[in-house]
């Protein structure tokens, strides 16, 4: 575009916003040039790491989880490009799914940063100061689940026959698979971990569940024309996403936890008090976003292939 065309486009834009063009242009005289550190907010980001102990490797633990939360935000941003679109093609659906999967691939491989980046003795010293906090309390991760599939696929397998689309969102919430990990497995009572989590997020979660009830990734896929649903590249992208999130990512987490919390006979409880081996392992939870895209044998062996 020529300078005249650019100026004309600027004038049209701000007149459309009912903003005086001359005032906007004069404002440019006094504005500061943008810098990398202002744009990225580097100082603010680097000031968010506040250890609770004197153990140096706690800093690794904090920063690693903060990076995870930033990536979760990127994933939710990509999901919305599909969920909130009025019309979407197979190519765009696949494109965004593969972006999301790449983020999860990065998360899976990144576990070595924490697993090999912290001394066991240091971890065992600072971990108890974190009680009852837990990665279980990542609200963004729960939102990723809600935005990916129908609620029935997130219900504890023991209760799926009693929950349907006529059930209230609160009833569905009370029977989500991860509720069991937030309860004392001997008394059935909610732990402090779950009580604090629900106090902060339960209302927000229920609103989010309702908002994505008909526009989650699975629902959007089912709304596509049949010929688009049969697109092999799209199916491959959805299966990749499902497996990456619900098996690969979970097992990476599971194996990293095992390094620090011990084997089956010696395993420590997670900081939130959960039986983490059963909570984390996909063969127990059988969380599957798109079960209709897997064979009967694949579903039977979920988490074992």
The pLDDT value given to residue 203: 97
Helix (H, G, I), strand (E, B) or coil at 230: coil
The answer to whether 137 and 206 have CB atoms below 8 angstroms apart is no
Say how far apart CA 198 and CA 179 lie, in whole Å.
10
Please report how many Cα atoms fall inside a 13 Å half-sphere around the Cα of residue 97, on the Cβ side: 28
Distance of CA 11 to the CA centre of its chain: 42
pLDDT string in tens for the chain (305-residue length): 899 999 999 999 999 999 999 988 899 899 999 999 999 999 999 999 999 999 999 999 999 999 999 999 999 999 999 999 988 888 999 999 999 999 999 998 898 888 888 999 999 999 989 988 888 899 999 999 999 999 999 999 889 999 988 899 999 999 999 988 888 767 878 999 999 999 999 999 999 999 999 999 999 999 999 999 999 999 999 999 999 999 998 888 788 777 766 655 555 555 545 555 565 678 777 899 999 999 999 999 998 86
Q: What is the pLDDT of residue 272?
A: 47
Closest CA to 103 of 83, 60, 74, 67: 74
Q: What is the pLDDT of residue 264?
A: 55
Please give the pLDDT value at position 275. 55
132: closest CA among 177, 179, 194, 55?
194
Does residue 132 have a cis peptide bond before it, meaning omega lies within 30 degrees of 0? yes
| 155: helix, strand or coil | strand
Nearest CA to 107 out of 75, 82, 148 is that of: 75
């Amino acid at each position: 575009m020529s300078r005249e065309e650019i100026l004309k486009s600027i004038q049209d834009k701000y007149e459309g916003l009912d903003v005086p063009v001359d005032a906007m242009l004069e404002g440019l005289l006094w504005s500061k040039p943008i810098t990398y550190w202002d744009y990225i907010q580097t100082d603010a980001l680097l000031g968010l790491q506040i250890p609770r102990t004197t153990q140096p490797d706690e800093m690794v633990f904090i920063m690693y989880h903060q990076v995870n939360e930033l990536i979760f935000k990127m994933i939710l941003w990509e999901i919305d490009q599909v969920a909130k679109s009025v019309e979407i093609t197979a190519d765009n659906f696949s494109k965004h799914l593969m972006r999301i999967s790449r983020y999860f691939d990065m998360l899976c491989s990144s576990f070595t940063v924490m697993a090999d980046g912290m001394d066991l003795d240091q971890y065992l010293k600072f971990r108890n100061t974190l009680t009852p906090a837990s990665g279980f309390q990542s609200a963004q991760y729960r939102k990723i689940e809600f935005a990916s599939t129908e609620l029935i696929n997130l219900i504890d397998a023991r209760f799926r026959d009693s929950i349907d689309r006529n059930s209230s969102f609160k009833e569905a919430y009370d029977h989500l698979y991860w509720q069991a990990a937030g309860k004392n497995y001997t008394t059935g009572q909610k732990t402090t971990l779950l009580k604090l989590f629900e106090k902060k997020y339960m209302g927000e979660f229920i609103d989010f569940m309702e908002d994505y009830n008909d526009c989650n990734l699975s629902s959007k896929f089912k709304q596509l024309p049949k010929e688009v649903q049969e697109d092999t590249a799209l199916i491959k992208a959805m299966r990749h996403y499902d497996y990456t999130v619900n098996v690969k990512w979970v097992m990476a987490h599971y194996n990293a936890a095992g390094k620090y919390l011990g084997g089956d006979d010696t395993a420590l409880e997670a900081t939130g008090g959960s039986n983490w081996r059963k909570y984390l392992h996909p063969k127990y939870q059988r969380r599957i976003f798109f079960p209709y895209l897997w064979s009967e044998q694949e579903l039977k062996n979920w988490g074992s292939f």
